[in-house]
Structure 1
Amino acid sequence: MALGRVGKNFMAPLLTVNLVVHLIVVGLAGWSLDKYIDGQQNHPHLGGNASTSFMLIFALIAGAFCACSVVVGMLHLRAWQHDSHAAAASLAIFSWAMITLAFGFVCKEAILGGHRGKRLQTLEFLIAISVLSQLLYLVILNAGMFKRRYGPTVI
């Protein structure tokens, strides 16, 4: 197999899944935050506790950053050069840190308990998936530093 092709083959389907998950996170967090701001915490699909508002804000910001990270990752996948790798890797690290902060608030929300509606539970589940998939993307993206068959070839 050609050098650098293994990482590229793994990254394409992962980026597609990540984009879908992050867009759903942004949609659910936006809807929930809108209901929360309107004072409809007792909505049957929302609920929540003291950490819900923080989790929703961080989920919305992190989802947007992660979606941007996926777009830059797709551009890197198309170019597959060391120059584009720097931008993709730096944005992937930052977006993973942001989604990890949102996951911290998900954990706090689960610890505090209380009524959490179906959409809020779905958002929590998708944030957990997003943390893991973003970490996997970050590992695959930077695996070329350790083995040449995973990264872009040197010209």
Structure 2
Amino acid sequence: MAGNLKPVASLLLVLNFCMYAIVAAIGGWAIDFAIDHGFIIASGLVLPAQFSPVFFPMGNAATGFFVIFALIASVVGAAAALAGFNHIRAWNSDSLPAAASSAVIAWTLTLLAMGLACKEIDLGGRNTRLRTMEAFMIILSATQLLYILAIHGAAAIRPRA
């Protein structure tokens, strides 16, 4: 039965890696756009009363926090996928702790970004790229959990030598 979970874990790992890469690309675009179109303050002017250091000219008040945490989660998730690829290749108990711990850290950061995505959805006023990031973070919160369960389930079923 442990061998039956290896293809499932492999599929989830590839799916998660691709989705984290897409979220990182869109998050990079959002940060670049915010830098190019954010506040420009001349030397004699003061900051506006509503100034936020996490200001993004698109979206709403939650956009800045969401983009930053989604970008962090996607980078950590992609790195966790590399540890996961090593575990899938070896598929033994020696490679499981690194894959599992990095996957759990990526999942918790993904949950944080998903919570901010839900807040951003609640506030409204987003463009299609931000909606794509939100959808991917919500989907990733589920698929990353399924991946963690698949690699832990295989370890629990496998007999000890």
Coarse TM-score class (shorter-chain normalised): 0.7 to 0.9
CA contact (8 A) 2:27 2:71 kept: yes
Structure whose CA Rg is larger: 2
How do residues 1-40 of structure 1 correspond to structure 2 at under 5 angstroms? 4-39=2-37
Q: Deviations over 1:69-100 (max 9, x none)?
A: 11110100001111100110100110000010
Indicate yes or no: 2:147 matched with 1:137.
yes
Aligned counterparts of 1:154 and 1:64: Cα–Cα separation in 2: 34
Give the percent of matched residue pairs that are identical in Structure 1 and Structure 2.
38
How do residues 54-133 of structure 1 correspond to structure 2 at under 5 angstroms? 54-113=65-124, 115-133=125-143
The SS at the match of 2:157 is: coil
What amino acid is aligned across from residue 71 of structure 2 in structure 1?
A: L
CA contact (8 A) 2:24 2:75 kept: yes
Instruction: Look up the match of 2:47.
Output: none
Q: Which runs of 5+ in 1 are unaligned?
A: none
Aligned counterparts of 1:154 and 1:20: Cα–Cα separation in 2: 33
What amino acid is aligned across from residue 27 of structure 2 in structure 1?
A: A
What amino acid is aligned across from residue 137 of structure 2 in structure 1?
A: I
TM normalised by structure 1 equals 0.86
Residue-pair matches, total: 144
What amino acid is aligned across from residue 140 of structure 2 in structure 1?
A: S
What amino acid is aligned across from residue 16 of structure 2 in structure 1?
A: N
RMSD value, Cα: 1.5
Aligned counterparts of 1:110 and 1:118: Cα–Cα separation in 2: 12
The SS at the match of 2:79 is: helix
How far did 1:147 drift? 2.5
Q: Deviations over 1:9-56 (max 9, x none)?
A: 2111111111111100000011012112323555xxxx2111100000
The SS at the match of 2:59 is: coil
Deviates more, 1:32-41 or 1:93-102: 32-41
Q: Which runs of 5+ in 2 are unaligned?
A: 39-55
